[in-house]
Amino acid sequence: MKEQELIPNLFRTEYRKIVSVLCRLFGMAHIEIAEDIVSDTFLAATELWSTKGVPENPTAWLYTVAKNKTKNYLKRDSLFQQKLSPEIQYHTANTEEFELDLSVKNIGDSQLAMIFTVCNPQISTESQVALALNLLCGFGIQEIADAYLTNKEVVYKRLNRAKEKLKELNISIKQPSMNEINLRMDNVLTTLYLLFSEGYYSTAQNITLRRDFCTEAMRLVHLLTAHEITNLPKVNALLSLMCFHASRFDARSGQNGETILYQDQDESLWNGALIDQGKYYLGLSAAGNQFSKYHLEAGIAYWHTHKEDTLEKWTQILQLYNNLLIVEYSPIVALNRTFALAKVNGKPAAIAEAEKLKLTDNHFYYSLLGNLYTDIDNELALQHYKQALAMAISNADKLTISRHIQELGL
């Protein structure tokens, strides 16, 4: 890997690990100190590696420098040591003997503790996702701003408000107890689900699929499955759902960046290994008596890995959507259901159900109606597609809708 690519790549993979360990050591009240130490470590790498060359083991170099910078900070700032909890003071009292634990186990434990700290229901959902991207995934403020079509100042304020709230609540960063897991797991899974969803369908203007967001969401859910206390059926169901969706990434985009709809995808581009992983985790999710919306969504995604257009397949998908709407109603889920309804009961029935939703502020609503009216009333289909095109934000969506308009031949 070239030097100009190496440091950004290491920043993405190692920054979050070292920050998690330091945050767990120092506490949420001193999160900026943790971030400064890690940022200084990467700044040193940028300066030294450009003149002296990349070390044989770049990751080990970063860990050594981070350990030394932490030790030096503790040595020169006795006031900071006094602010730490008695337990941490005990470990850092003799800075000559102090050793920052960057073992694989401690990094994993620290990241798990950080997940439950960041996904606190007392801060807004958008702040939880932003904090997750920043602290758990290593995304910079500019990257987060670009993803959400906003500016750095907005993201910076959002992150600061969330951090200040967590400090105000005096949240400790520690391994979650069973009670905390029971109370907060739904919130954690919602945040990771939203993180994956933002990657799966990005709101950024010129990119629909952000694989890096999806990969990070999957990594964090994998982390939950790796710890016995958080390896729950609904966690496995969410991971199964993500695997099934990720298996079709390569088939979702065309040469010009347009979105390729499910029925037009090249099945040979689907990732069989990820489909098998999805089946594996779906099987694990069946253990015990827990049942969640993720089980239903994983089931829908599973049937979408069968390309054959059979009545059995669409009947199963329709039934899963029916149950999902009972468990947790969502207008978008209801809209998605109408496609399966069309396959089972025909387009007229689906049109009647779709139009009841009146989602007139959503371009997907008009795009779906355009699809449903095609070959029934092509003039009306064209009107709906034109409305969808006028409302679409991403270039990928505009290209896809434009292609459908051309296919109408009007």
Residues 93, 168 within the same domain? no
395 within a domain of the structure (yes/no): no
pLDDT tens, residue by residue, 309-346: 899 999 999 999 999 999 999 999 999 999 999 999 99
pLDDT of residue 99: 79
Residue 404 within a domain: no
Say if residue 130 is in the same domain as residue 193: yes
What pLDDT is attached to residue 368?
A: 95
3-state secondary structure the chain: CCHHHHHHHHHHHHHHHHHHHHHHHHCHHHHHHHHHHHHHHHHHHHHHHHHHCCCCCHHHHHHHHHHHHHHHHHHHCHHHHHHCCHHHHHHHCCCCCCCCCCCHHHHHHHHHHHHHHHCCCCCCHHHHHHHHHHHHCCCCHHHHHHHCCCCHHHHHHHHHHHHHHHHHCCCCCCCCCHHHHHHHHHHHHHHHHHHHHHHHCCCCCCCCCCHHHHHHHHHHHHHHHHCHHHCCHHHHHHHHHHHHHHCCHHHCECCCCCECCHHHCCHHHCCHHHHHHHHHHHHHHCCCCCCCHHHHHHHHHHHCCCCCCCHHHHHHHHHHHHHHHHHCCCHHHHHHHHHHHHHHHCHHHHHHHHHHHCCCCCHHHHHHHHHHHCCCCHHHHHHHHHHHHHHCCCHHHHHHHHHHHHHHCC
* 16 in the same domain as 78: yes
**16/1 same-domain check:** yes
Domain assignment present for residue 37? The answer is yes
Domain residue limits at 192:
103-231
Whole-prediction pTM value?
0.86
Query: Last residue of a domain, which of 176, 211, 231?
Result: 231
Residues 174 and 91 in one domain: no
Residue ending a domain, among 46, 68, 102, is 102
Within the chain, which residues score under 50 in pLDDT? 87, 89-90, 205
How many domains does the chain divide into?
Answer: 2
Please check whether residue 365 lies inside any domain of the structure: no
Q: Is residue 173 assigned to a domain?
A: yes
| 141 domain-assigned | yes
Q: Say whether both 94 and 133 belong to one domain.
A: no
- Do 86 and 110 lie in one domain? The reply is no
Q: Is residue 95 part of a domain?
A: yes
Residue type, 155: V
Q: Tell me the per-residue pLDDT of 86-137, one tens digit each, with 9 for 90 and over.
A: 545 445 555 556 678 999 999 999 999 999 998 888 888 888 888 888 888 8
The pLDDT value given to residue 205: 47
* pLDDT at position 3: 60
Last residue of a domain, one of 102, 134, 159: 102
Domain match, 89 and 150 both:
no
Same structural domain for residues 127 and 72?
A: no
Task: Assess whether 148 and 213 both reside in one domain.
Answer: yes
Same domain, 27 and 96: yes
For residue 330, tell me if it sits in a domain.
no
CB of 38 closer than 8 Å to CB of 18: yes
One domain, residues 132 and 227: yes
Which tokens go with 356?
Answer: 């009841």
